[in-house]
Structure 1
Amino acid sequence: MQTSAHRIVVVGGGAGGLELVTRLGDKLGKRGAAHITLVDRSPTHIWKPLLHEVAAGSMDQNTHQLEYAAQALWHHFEFQQGELTGLDRTRKTISVAACVDQDGLELLPARDIPYDTLVLAIGSVTHFFGTPGAAEHAIALDTVEQAERFRRRLISACVRAQNGLSRNDDDGDGRPDVDVVIVGAGATGVELSAELRNTAQVLNAYGLHRLDPRRDIHITLIEGGPRILPALSERVSSETAELLRKLDVRMLVGERVTEIGPDAVLTASGKRIPAELTVWAAGITAPPVLKTLGLTLSRQGQIVVRQTLQSEDDPDIFAFGDCASCAWPAKQTTVPPRAQAAHQQASFLYDALRARLEGRPLPEFQFKDLGSLVSLGRFTAVGNLMGGLIGGSMFIEGLMARLMYSSLYRMHVMALHGAVRMALDTVAHWLRSKTNPRVKLH
Structure 2
Amino acid sequence: MNETPENSLHKIVIVGGGAGGLELATRLGEALGRRGKAHITLIDRNWTHIWKPTLHEIAAGSMDMGDHEVGYLAQAHWHGFRFRIGEMTGIDRARREVHVASFVDAESKEVTPKRSFAYDTLVISVGSQCNDFGTPGVREYALKLETAKDARRFHARMINACVRAHAQAGPLRPEQLHVAIIGAGATGIELAAELHHTTREVVAYGLDRVDAEKDIKLVVIEAAPRVLPALPERLSSATEGLLRKLGVEVLTNAKVSEVLPNAVRLADGRELPAELVVWAAGVKAADFLAHLDGLESNRINQLLVRQTLQTTLDENIIAMGDCACCPWPEKNGFVPPRAQAAHQQASHLFRQLQRRIKGKPLQDFHYHDYGSMVSLGKFSTVGSMMGGLMKGSLFIEGSFAKLMYISLYKMHELALHGWPKVTLDSLIRLITRRTEPHVKLH
Using the size of structure 1 for normalisation, the TM-score is 0.97
Residues 169 and 99 from structure 1, CA distance in 2 versus in 1: closer, same or farther, beyond 3 angstroms?
closer
Query: For 1:331-385, what per-residue CA distance to the aligned partner results, in whole angstroms no more than 9, with x for missing partners?
Result: 1111000000000011110111111111222110111110000001111100000
d(CA) in 2 for partners of 1:400 and 1:376? 14
d(CA) in 1 for partners of 2:169 and 2:52? 34
Aligned twin of 1:271: 270
Is 1:149 aligned to 2:148, yes or no?
no
Q: Percent of aligned positions with the same letter in both sequences?
A: 54
Aligned twin of 2:233: 234
The AA in structure 2 aligned to 1:283 is: G
**Paired residue secondary structure (2:314):** coil
8 Å CA contact 2:176–2:275 kept in 1: the answer is no
Matches within 5 A, 1:242-261: 242-261=241-260
Aligned twin of 1:82: 86
d(CA) in 1 for partners of 2:408 and 2:98? 33
The AA in structure 1 aligned to 2:150 is: Q
| Backbone CA RMSD of aligned residues | 1.2
d(CA) in 2 for partners of 1:20 and 1:73? 15
Matches within 5 A, 1:385-424: 385-424=385-424
List structure 1 runs of 4+ shifted beyond 4 angstroms: none
Residues 87 and 165 from structure 1, CA distance in 2 versus in 1: closer, same or farther, beyond 3 angstroms?
farther
Aligned twin of 1:357: 357
d(CA) in 2 for partners of 1:292 and 1:165? 54
d(CA) in 1 for partners of 2:62 and 2:172? 26
Residues 166 and 311 from structure 1, CA distance in 2 versus in 1: closer, same or farther, beyond 3 angstroms?
farther
8 Å CA contact 2:162–2:203 kept in 1: the answer is no
Unaligned runs of at least 5 residues, structure 2: none
Aligned twin of 1:202: 201
8 Å CA contact 1:302–1:324 kept in 2: the answer is yes
**Paired residue secondary structure (1:236):** helix
Is 1:37 aligned to 2:61, yes or no?
no
d(CA) in 1 for partners of 2:97 and 2:208? 54
Is 1:119 aligned to 2:118, yes or no?
no
d(CA) in 1 for partners of 2:157 and 2:215? 16
Unaligned runs of at least 5 residues, structure 1: 171-175
**Total equivalences in the alignment:** 437
The AA in structure 2 aligned to 1:401 is: A
8 Å CA contact 1:177–1:218 kept in 2: the answer is no
8 Å CA contact 2:20–2:345 kept in 1: the answer is yes
Q: 1:65 aligns with which of 46, 49, 69?
A: 69
Aligned twin of 1:173: none
Aligned twin of 1:5: 9
**Paired residue secondary structure (1:359):** coil
d(CA) in 2 for partners of 1:166 and 1:6? 67
d(CA) in 1 for partners of 2:169 and 2:151? 24
Aligned twin of 2:428: 428
Aligned twin of 2:167: 163
CA-CA distance at 1:144 after TM superposition? 0.8
d(CA) in 2 for partners of 1:209 and 1:6? 63
Query: For 1:208-227, what per-residue CA distance to the aligned partner results, in whole angstroms no more than 9, with x for missing partners?
Result: 35322222100000000000
The AA in structure 2 aligned to 1:356 is: R
8 Å CA contact 1:159–1:209 kept in 2: the answer is no
8 Å CA contact 1:100–1:107 kept in 2: the answer is yes
8 Å CA contact 1:158–1:209 kept in 2: the answer is no
Is 1:370 aligned to 2:366, yes or no?
no
Aligned twin of 1:191: 190
8 Å CA contact 1:203–1:209 kept in 2: the answer is no
8 Å CA contact 1:307–1:364 kept in 2: the answer is yes
Residues 60 and 166 from structure 1, CA distance in 2 versus in 1: closer, same or farther, beyond 3 angstroms?
farther
Aligned twin of 2:279: 280
The AA in structure 1 aligned to 2:163 is: V
Query: For 1:180-206, what per-residue CA distance to the aligned partner results, in whole angstroms no more than 9, with x for missing partners?
Result: 000000000000000001011101221
d(CA) in 2 for partners of 1:303 and 1:132? 27
**Paired residue secondary structure (2:89):** strand
Matches within 5 A, 1:273-352: 273-293=272-292, 294-352=294-352
d(CA) in 1 for partners of 2:267 and 2:195? 26
8 Å CA contact 2:305–2:319 kept in 1: the answer is yes
d(CA) in 1 for partners of 2:208 and 2:347? 47
d(CA) in 2 for partners of 1:115 and 1:41? 18
d(CA) in 1 for partners of 2:169 and 2:361? 67
d(CA) in 1 for partners of 2:169 and 2:129? 35
